[in-house]
Amino acid sequence: MDLSLNEKRLIKVLEPHKKYDPATLAAKMGTSAESVIQFSMLLAGRGLVHVEKEVHTTYALTDEGSRYAREGLPERQLLQSFEGRIPMADLTKHPLSRVGIGQMRKKGWVTIRDGMVEKTGQEMISEEERALREPECEGKGVSLLVKRGLLIEQQETRYLISLTPDGEAIAKKGLDLEAEIGTLTREQIIGGSWKDLPLRRYSLGTLPRKIYPGKIHPYQRILDEMRQTLLEMGFAEIYGGLVQSSFWNFDALFQPQDHPAREMQDTFFLKETVPVPPGFERVRDMHLHGGTTSSTGWGGDWRVEKAEQCVLRTHTTSLSIQHLVSHPEPPVKVFCIGRVYRRESIDSTHLAEFEQLEGIVMDKDVTFRHLLGFLKEFYGRMGFEGVRFRPGYFPYTEPSVEPEVFVDGLGWVEMGGAGVFREEVRAPWGVKHPVLAWGLGVSRVAMLRLGLKDLRQLYRTDIDFVRETSSWRPAHRASGRK
Amino acid sequence: MAVITLYYRYLERLVGVDKETILARLPMLGSDIERVEEDHVDVEFFPSRPDLFSVEGVARAMKGFLGVEKGLPAYHVKPSGISFSVDPGLASIRPYLGTAVIRGISLDEEAILSLMGLQEALHWALGRGRSKVAIGIHDLDHVTPPFRYIAEERTRSFVPLDYDREMTMEEILDTHPKGRAYADIVKDFPRFPLIVDACNQVLSFPPIINGELTRVTGESRNLLLDTTGTDERAVMTAVNILCTALADAGGQIESVEVDGGFIPTLAPTTRLVSSRECSSLLGVDFTPEELSALLERMRYSAEPVSDDKVRVTIPCYRADIMHDWDIFEDAAIAFGYENFRAEISPTFTIGKAHTVMTIASAVRSLGSGLGYQEVIPFTLTSERVMHSKMQRPLPAGTLTVLHPINEENTMVRTGILPLLIETLQFNRHRELPQRLFAVGDVVQDLTTYQKASFVSLHPAADFSEAYAVADALCRELSIPYTAGESGDQAFIQGRRGNLLVNGSVAGTFGEIHPAVLNAFELEHPVAAVEIDLRVVPGYPSGLGTP
């Protein structure tokens, strides 16, 4: 049996067949009576000592009680203040009359009739008076006095501690009183003394202190998982500026200059401008009349000044098109996960900035069917097995498609947009092969995966959310079925 | 996006198919069902298809899609004998006029609602809020042809719709609800556009309001349409979409003579497209015959003319067909997106992470190794958080947005530290210690680059902690630095330092100034580090500038 040092010391001071009170033991052990009780309880739990618990009640007079013990109870004093009979009106002038009259009457010492108080002659010593003299002998008088607030009851628990037969057996065998070791020291470890040391045992029942490791944000973890997926699928990552010219953000993507997205209520415009790049004329012509393609273009006006104005990028497609311009030869497979901006009123499902994931594939002979293939593969790897495709519309893709994934409890959820770049987008830059492109609002995936109700929680971090969200979560948790 | 209300009764009558069948297939035609109600459904259509902004237009497309009626819908236009003149004075104001006469119409309540919804949606999608195109529909029987579209004195008066007294056009702009809403389009012109009849009665003050005189009701049988605007193509598209919808609603379309020409013609256009090009775009082999059959279901007329080419006749209401691929998308929709076999292309490429992102990942693993928790603050912030509360001057090259949504989002962050301190403020009731870091984009002088920032809040946080973290980061990221005196007011004097790399400041560290702590309602010391990641060896140069 593993006993703590304190438990052993207690057994040591207990002689067989003797009962001890804690104070005596405490003096012997050089500790407090409370500690002795605590150790005794532990030993009692192991069946080595017997703890008798006695509750003693004592009574003490209150201040008022001691006064009456000297001078007599109010009813006795009142009774002695008159002879025979007295008008009630006179008796009430006595300072003790308020308590005394009722008590005299209750005890049958007086009768009250027609305003006169008259002694009955039955004036025996009451139980209260007896108790007042000897409070120790308990009884009815004592409890009456307690009720009247003249006595107070005090309870005292006394312990008597003795060895059980098992305890005696252990004591007989002798106990090693060497101190137990908590933390091992360097000397104990390298010197070998650990072999003989009593090592304190710790309780599994005591829960550990909660510590929070440093960690990557749960949302970033999802973004990293997406990056990893795309890298595994052979995509190269691209990165670029948050600030783009309207030319690269809109015009190069064949968004007409009077398109609603280009109005100040939808996009964050900046006062800064940057010159349009060489070759902008081909983009202008594409807008005006379709350039050298079978397109009619948008017609109307196309102004360089409008193309020069800077914006906070509304999509990362502005980076994709610039990458294509500098890499016009196939094959190209690139992706980007970056912050994009929309001038939206902020609420639980709309933010002015959020992450977008974008991927493009440019190669000889790639088709719309391949686009659907890449989408299905990516969503599948993100844990969304049920994927379907619906027609969509984006100014720079044709055909356009809106992928949807199936989420248990929500049904089909729209998951971004995709399409094949229009010829009007790639022709100005000599890109001769089809470009498959897709964009995904990744914060939506994060909300589904993390079970969030409010998009703002991703960015305006409650650190308890980070602390309490497990680092490793099975990927298929929020996903749907086919 | 345009949300169109489709009443089942009217829709079923026009399509000849029950509403369940229609609703099941509608999304695969290219729409989002917003709300399904007892007697109607609200559906959102793409802005590229304004011809679907009416029940009549949707019914026409659904009939083809469901195979009830295929091919090009026929629209016959008779001359009305009515003429309309355009005042040359409008050339610099609102030059283009489109028009038509619709006879023998009988509009029930649902048809009137559909027409009003169409007009509204066209104003938005095609008309760009009436500036590019505005539409007026009139009861023809209350006015006398010929009509004139003129540039009139601003003080000319007439009784506008919904009023019972004459008002001058200037007064309308000031007091009529529609006048106030659209005043910006015309208010700077010396004269205003006006449409009048032979007796000089006012039909309309485009693009603001019609006259009460020609109000359309359920009793109206003959209509006059006007579309005015600044873009001829859009003006004519609006006429075509309205006339075909009204013809489907039972009207006879008649043309009007405008300065020698006749409007509308409702004539289709043609394109000669390649079935091979279509096949290689979609990844499914279609013969010219197969392609033609698909297109007929999308209400084109299509005829194979060789072993490759198909002559496609495009209905006049299709404003979105700019390129052959627009037609191929329709073939894909007719084929059914659900019928494509999704398959990855054999394109061989090797994946590669971007160095900037690889460095950011390294910082993240360092941050968590140091016991810090990552946060991802917004990049839009305010001068108050970035500068006044931080006791720092506004750095040169700070990017402010022109039309911020609110006072909290006026500029793009130039650093991340203030946002981390703000995050500590949001979390001031949470358990200590709090050690947070963030890595991400900042913008200065239009250039986007990455910074990393670390904060540690607890009763014993001090300069030494900040210095130790800064040193550890630099060592781990192979940044050769020296520490120099810093003048950064966000930190306590004598408890702050700059990280100097090749003689220039690449970062700051130290103990945050108590006045800054007060400004962010923090009650314990904060040790902080911020570093410009461009000094990490291997960070690519020349990035992030537009």
CB within 8 Å: B543 and A241: yes
pLDDT (0 to 100) of residue A481: 45
What is the average per-residue pLDDT within A96-122? 84
Mean pLDDT of chain A: 88
Q: Which of residues 250-289 of B touch A (CB under 8 A)?
A: 271, 280-284
Instruction: Answer with the one of A160, A182, A209 that is the final residue of a domain.
Output: A209
Q: What is the pLDDT of residue A143?
A: 83
Cβ–Cβ gap A242/B231 under 8 Å? no
Degrees to nearest 5, angle at CA B236 with A393 and B205: 110
Same structural domain, A318 and A171: no
Q: Looking at the domain assignment, is residue A167 inside a domain?
A: yes
Beta carbons of A242 and B282 less than 8 Å apart: no
Q: Do residue A315 and residue A171 come from a single domain?
A: no
Measured CA to CA, the distance from residue B132 to residue A242 in angstroms comes to 32
User: Which of A209, A228, A258 is the C-terminal boundary of a domain?
Assistant: A209
Mean pLDDT score, A79-92: 85
Q: Are residues A204 and A236 in the same domain?
A: no
- Which of residues A48 and B343 earns the better pLDDT score? B343
Q: How far apart are CA B276 and CA B309, in angstroms?
A: 8
Determine the 3-state secondary structure of A340 from DSSP.
strand
Q: Which of the residue ranges A120-129, B100-109, B207-216, B344-353 would you say has the lowest mean pLDDT?
A: A120-129
Reported as a single tens digit per residue, the pLDDT across B436-476 is 999 999 999 999 999 999 999 999 999 999 999 999 999 99
Mutate one of A390, A425, A465 to test the B interface: name it (highest B CB count within 10 A).
A390
Residue from the list A238, A260, A269 with its beta carbon closest to the beta carbon of B403: A269
Mean pLDDT of A7-23: 86
pLDDT digits (tens, 9 = 90+) for A212-269: 999 999 999 999 999 999 999 999 999 999 999 999 999 999 999 988 788 878 899 9
Q: How confident is the model at residue B294 (pLDDT cuts 50, 70, 90)?
A: very high
Give per-residue pLDDT as tens, B485-536. 999 999 999 999 999 999 999 999 999 999 999 999 999 999 999 999 999 9
Q: For residue A412, is it within any domain? A: yes
Domain assignment present for A162: yes
User: What per-residue confidence (pLDDT) applies to A5?
Assistant: 80
H or E stretch covering A424: helix A423-426
Residue B308, helix vs strand vs coil:
coil
Q: Which residues of chain A make contact with B32, given a CB cutoff of 8 A?
A: 414
Nearest CA in chain B to A346: B405
Q: How many residues does chain B have?
A: 546
The residue among A273, A369, A471 with the most chain B CBs within 10 A of its CB, best to mutate, is A369
Confidence (pTM) = 0.80
* pLDDT over 70 at B368, yes or no: yes
The reply to whether A151 and A290 lie within a common domain is: no
Residue with the larger pLDDT of the pair A121 and B94? B94
- Cβ–Cβ under 8 Å, residues B525 and B511: yes
Q: Is residue A105 part of a domain?
A: no
From chain A residues 253-292, the ones with a CB under 8 A of any chain B CB are: 258, 260, 264-265, 268-272, 274, 290
Indicate the pLDDT class of residue A477, thresholds 50, 70 and 90: very low
Indicate whether A478 pLDDT > 70. Answer: no
Across A71-166, the runs of DSSP E, i.e. the strands, are: 85-87, 110-113, 116-119, 151-163
pLDDT at position B210 over 70 = yes
Residue A398 has pLDDT above 50, yes or no: yes
Chain A contact set for B357 (CB, 8 A): 227, 237, 239
Q: How many CB atoms lie within 10 A of CB A286?
A: 25
Query: Which residue has 């958080």 as its token pair?
Result: B385
| A306, A171: one domain | no
pLDDT number for residue A475: 61
Question: Which among B32, B351, B426 has the least Cβ separation from residue A231?
Answer: B351
Higher pLDDT, A311 or A171: A311
Residue A480 has pLDDT above 70, yes or no: no
Q: Which residue of A has its CA nearest to B129?
A: A260
Q: What does the alpha-carbon distance between residue B282 and residue A420 come to, in Å, rounded to a whole number? A: 9
- Domain of A134, CATH number, reads 1.10.10
Pick from A374, A442, A329, A404: nearest CA to A233: A374
Q: CA-to-CA distance for B62 and B4, rounded, in angstroms?
A: 15
Which chain A residue lies closest to B232 (C-alpha atoms)?
A300
Are residues A301 and A439 part of one domain? yes
Q: What is the pLDDT of residue B312?
A: 98
Query: Tokens in use for B44?
Result: 């959102």
CB pairs under 8 A between A and B: 275
Q: Provide the residue range defining the domain that includes A444.
A: 219-468
- Candidate from B280, B352, B364 with C-beta closest to A237: B352
- Portion 447-476 of B in contact with A at CB < 8 A: 447-448
In this structure, the answer to whether residues A145 and A262 fall within a common structural domain is: no
Q: Which of A153, A186, A209 is the last residue of a domain?
A: A209
- Mutation target vs A (from B427, B446, B476; most A CBs, 10 A cutoff): B446
Query: How far apart (Å, rounded) are the C-alpha atoms in residues B8 and A120?
Result: 104
Within this chain, do residues A184 and A226 fall inside the same structural domain, yes or no?
Answer: no
Q: Does A342 touch chain B (CB under 8 A)?
A: no
- Position A335 pLDDT exceeds 90: yes
Residue A299 lies in a domain: yes
Of all residues in chain B, the percent with pLDDT exceeding 70 is 100
Q: What pLDDT sits at residue A476?
A: 53
Please indicate if any CB of chain A lies within 8 Å of the CB of B200: no
CB proximity B541 to A under 8 Å: no
Is residue A475 situated within a structural domain? no
Residue A199: per-residue pLDDT: 86
Supply B88's token pair. 């040359």
Question: H-helix or E-strand containing B277?
Answer: helix B275-282
Total domains in the fold of chain A: 2
Beta strands in B46-95 (DSSP E): 77-86
A164 with A255, same domain? Answer: no
**If contacts are CB pairs under 8 Å, which of residues 128-157 in chain B contact chain A?**
128, 132
Q: Are residues A281 and A366 in the same domain?
A: yes
Are A214 and B341 an interchain contact pair (Cβ–Cβ within 8 Å)? Answer: no
Q: What is the mean pLDDT of residues B398-402?
A: 93
Distance of CA A66 to CAs A34, A79, A131, A135, B260, Å? 33, 20, 12, 11, 127
Q: Which CATH number is A370's domain given?
A: 3.30.930.10
Model confidence pLDDT, tens digit, residues B242-287: 999 999 999 999 999 998 899 999 999 999 999 999 999 999 999 9
Q: How far apart are CA B539 and CA A129, in angstroms?
A: 99
In a domain, A98, yes or no: no
Q: What share of chain B is helix, strand, coil (3-state, %, to 5)?
A: 35, 30, 35
Task: Look at A75-79, A416-420, B228-232 and tell me which has the smallest mean pLDDT.
Answer: A75-79
Question: What is the SS3 assignment for A177?
Answer: coil
Q: What percent of chain A shows pLDDT beyond 90?
A: 44
pLDDT in tens, B160-181: 998 999 999 999 999 999 999 9
> Is the predicted pLDDT of residue B1 greater than 70, yes or no?
no
Between residues 54 and 73 of chain A, which touch chain B (CB distance below 8 Å)?
A: none
In this predicted structure, what is the pLDDT of residue A97?
A: 83
**Which residue in the set B427, B434, B446 is minimally distant from A272, CB to CB?**
B446
Instruction: Give residue A62's pLDDT.
Output: 86
Q: Which of residues 463-482 of A touch B (CB under 8 A)?
A: 463-464, 466-467
pLDDT at position A473 over 80 = no
What is the predicted pLDDT for the residue at A88? 85
Q: What's the confidence (pLDDT) of residue B89?
A: 92
- Looking at chain A from residue 393 to 422, which residues have their Cβ under 8 Å from any Cβ of chain B? 393, 395, 398-401, 414, 420, 422
Averaged pLDDT, A286-309: 93
Q: Are residues A197 and A310 in the same domain?
A: no
A314 and A265 both lie in a single domain: yes
pLDDT band at A46; cut points 50, 70, 90: confident
Mean pLDDT, all residues of chain B = 94
Q: For residue B146, what pLDDT band results from cuts at 50, 70 and 90?
A: very high
Q: What pLDDT does residue A337 have? A: 97
Lowest mean pLDDT among A58-62, A303-307, B240-244: A58-62
Confidence (pLDDT) at A397: 96
- A121 occurs within a structural domain: no
Nearest chain A Cα to B369, which residue?
A: A214
Give the range among A94-98, A294-298, A391-395, B219-223 with minimum mean pLDDT: A94-98
- pLDDT confidence bin for B209, thresholds 50/70/90: very high
Q: Sort out which chain B residues have CB atoms less than 8 A from A236's CB and list them.
A: 349-352, 354
